[in-house]
Amino acid sequence: MANIVVVGAQWGDEGKGKIVDLLTQSADVVARYQGGHNAGHTVKIKDKEFILHLIPSGILHKGKKCIIGNGVVVDPKALIEEMKGLKKKNISIGKRLFISGRAHVIMPYHNVLDGAHENSKGKKKIGTTGRGIGPAYADKMSRVGIRMADLLDPESFRKKLKTNLADVNFLLANKYKTKKLSVNKIYDEYMKYAEYLKPFITDTVVLVNDLMEKGKNVLFEGAQGTLLDIDHGTYPYVTSSNACSGGVCTGLGVGPKSIDGVVGIVKAYTTRVGSGPFPTELKDKLGERLRLDGGEYGATTGRPRRCGWLDLVSLKHTMRINGFTGLALTKLDVLDGLDKIKVCVAYKYMAPTNSCSCSKKGKACRFTDFPQQVDVVEKCEPIYEELDGWSGNTKGAENYKDLPKQAKAYIKYISDKLGVKIDLISTGQKRNEIIFVNNPFGKAKGKT
């Protein structure tokens, strides 16, 4: 048996959905441990495209069990729509989907508060999806959250809802000057959701640990990326949960000794959606080329992603946090045809005050470790090393030997700089457009 974590190593959108889909061939169970429906995982199978937000992409494989853990915040309406959408595409869910009764529920007032709070920030907006994720996690930490198990107890649910709405409606009326929400309307709506989801709600802590004890291979799946982690990302421009590998333990209720490997998903360049610092961002024609060729638009919101060169400073930071045992390099084909490729190996920073520990005011300092202060990261300039690009085509390649010499050199450069092997290389969006250098589960590649 083996239990493997798949983690985004950048600001999300690294192609985790495809990698999870491929590794599911060697797994028995796929378990999601954090985030909400603000994430979007896109998988292309032949001529069909599947965009999943809450349900692990392992659901696309027959016979695989899929778990939504307690660390996830669930919008019941969005989840049911996703379930029905899969059924329309002849994907059988049956008794394969399990939802933690401890997972917190996104309520309508979370969406309202999310939008109102974000709009009140003006130019200092974080860039949230406005789907209630942050407010739901805030209620969780404030110990006033409503959990999936609460939906199964109508009387208890109504009491909690009534108590919460008293505070929420006061805030909506007096701070945001918006209309109040109805207890009865929300109650009736969520009781319908409860009836639909009741067969899927269970104690997933018991379930996932029992499955591991029986020797099943488990694939742990996160959302977003490590640089959006609430503790280790570019705070406050982050998500509201722990997207790093440590989130597995709290988000699913498994011990750290249960984890056998951590695969970091790294795009061959770097992208980011929303606000926040991005040292290697390209605001020119090359950045636009990467966006167009890479199809860099959010699967959840459709927002255009900001694009730039690969950043090894931030990647070394995410390596320390996650303990990567291997990497999956995605979207290599997007770099086809470039004469030169740049890679950021350090940051240059001009300290405006004496607050920087490595320099005096007005003096330049060099960072090879990712700075803690977001204000510092925003003012950092990338220091690049330049590599030769390649004129050959990598798109659709399934064998390492078929890659251009310069593409192989780029892959080796990344592996050597980070000190970790590259297990998989994605050369396109389709399932079969992948090079398996090594299967993290230690098994032979399955048929796609």
Spatial distance between the Cα atoms of 41 and 56, rounded to a whole number of angstroms:
9
Q: What's the token pair of residue 22?
A: 């491929």
CA 17 to chain centre: 9
3-state SS assignment for residue 123: helix
Sign of CA dihedral 40, 43, 48, 50: negative
110 is catalytic: no
Burial per residue of 379-410, b for 16 or more beta-carbon CB atoms within 10 angstroms, e otherwise: bbebebeebebbeeebeebeeeeebbebbeeb
Give me the catalytic one of 21, 28, 37, 41.
Answer: 41
Q: How far apart are the first and last CA of the chain?
A: 21
Contact yes or no for 222/228 (Cβ under 8 A): no
293 is catalytic: no
Beta strands 381-388 and 340-350: pairing type?
A: antiparallel
Q: Which helix (H) or strand (E) is 272 found in, with range?
A: strand 270-272
Degrees, nearest 5: CA angle 200-205-209: 115
DSSP secondary structure of 153-214: -HHHHHHHHHHHHHHHHHHHHHTS--PPPPHHHHHHHHHHHHHHHGGGEE-HHHHHHHHHHT
DSSP secondary structure of 5-62: EEEE-SSS-SSHHHHHHHHGGG-SEEEE-SB-TT--EEEEETTEEEEESSS-GGGGST
Q: 430: which strand partners?
A: 44
- Find where tokens 């597995």 sit: 248
Peptide bond into 108 cis (omega under 30): no
DSSP 429: S
Q: Which amino acid is at 240?
A: S
3-state SS assignment for residue 106: coil
* Nearest to 282, CA basis, from 298, 269, 295, 297: 269
The angle that helices 108-119 and 154-174 make with each other, rounded to 10 degrees, is: 20
Residues with catalytic function: 13, 41
